[in-house]
């Protein structure tokens, strides 16, 4: 008499094999996943049009900048005050200045600064410890 051995694959065997494959897949992804999206430095310039000239003294290099909802938007790295000029006539406005505030911020891999997309012509409501202002982004580097 010959003994016959048959190999039967049961549903339990298939489940064990599937579980081992899933564990192997997730272990591979955990160990060999690509580099995380890294942040990068972003400089942007905000123009604040026609503010009272005495308010231009309220902004200084090194001030931290926050959005209207309190999100950190960066640090002031440069600041310039110029006489405000009317775009329609080209005349200067007495006792008014245009402020050009350069802000350095850390952007995530998608280019967002604290959830805000920074681009040219974006209107921003920002504040420092000494000044709250609405401005337009005129440059991004």
User: Quick one: pLDDT at residue 89?
Assistant: 84
Question: Cα torsion for 73, 125, 137, 44, to the nearest 10°?
Answer: -10
Does 82 reside within a domain?
A: yes
Does 10 reside within a domain?
A: no
CA dist 61 to 2, 5, 78, 81, Å?
Answer: 93, 84, 6, 13
Q: Which domain holds residue 65?
A: 40-140
Does 20 reside within a domain?
A: no
Q: How many domains does the chain have?
A: 1
Distance CA 132, CA 138 (A): 18
Does 67 reside within a domain?
A: yes
Q: Which CATH number fits the domain that encloses residue 78?
A: 2.40.30.110
User: Quick one: pLDDT at residue 103?
Assistant: 98
Does 113 reside within a domain?
A: yes
Task: Name the nearest CA neighbour of 59 among 137, 129, 123.
Answer: 129
Segment-wise mean pLDDT, segments of 10 residues, the chain, 141 residues: 67 88 85 70 94 90 96 96 85 90 92 93 95 95 91
């Amino acid at each position: 008499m010959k003994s016959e051995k048959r190999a039967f694959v049961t549903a339990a065997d298939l489940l064990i094999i599937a579980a081992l494959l899933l564990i192997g897949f997730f272990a591979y992804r955990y160990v060999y996943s690509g580099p995380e999206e890294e942040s990068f430095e972003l400089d942007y310039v905000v123009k604040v049009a026609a503010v009272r000239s005495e308010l231009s003294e309220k902004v200084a290099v090194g001030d931290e900048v926050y959005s209207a909802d309190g999100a950190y938007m960066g640090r002031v790295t440069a600041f310039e005050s110029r006489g405000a000029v009317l775009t329609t006539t080209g005349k200067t406005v007495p006792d008014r200045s245009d402020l050009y505030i350069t802000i350095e911020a850390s952007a995530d891999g998608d280019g967002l600064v604290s959830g805000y997309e920074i681009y040219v012509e974006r209107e921003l409501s920002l504040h420092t410890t000494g000044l709250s202002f609405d401005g337009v982004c005129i440059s991004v580097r």
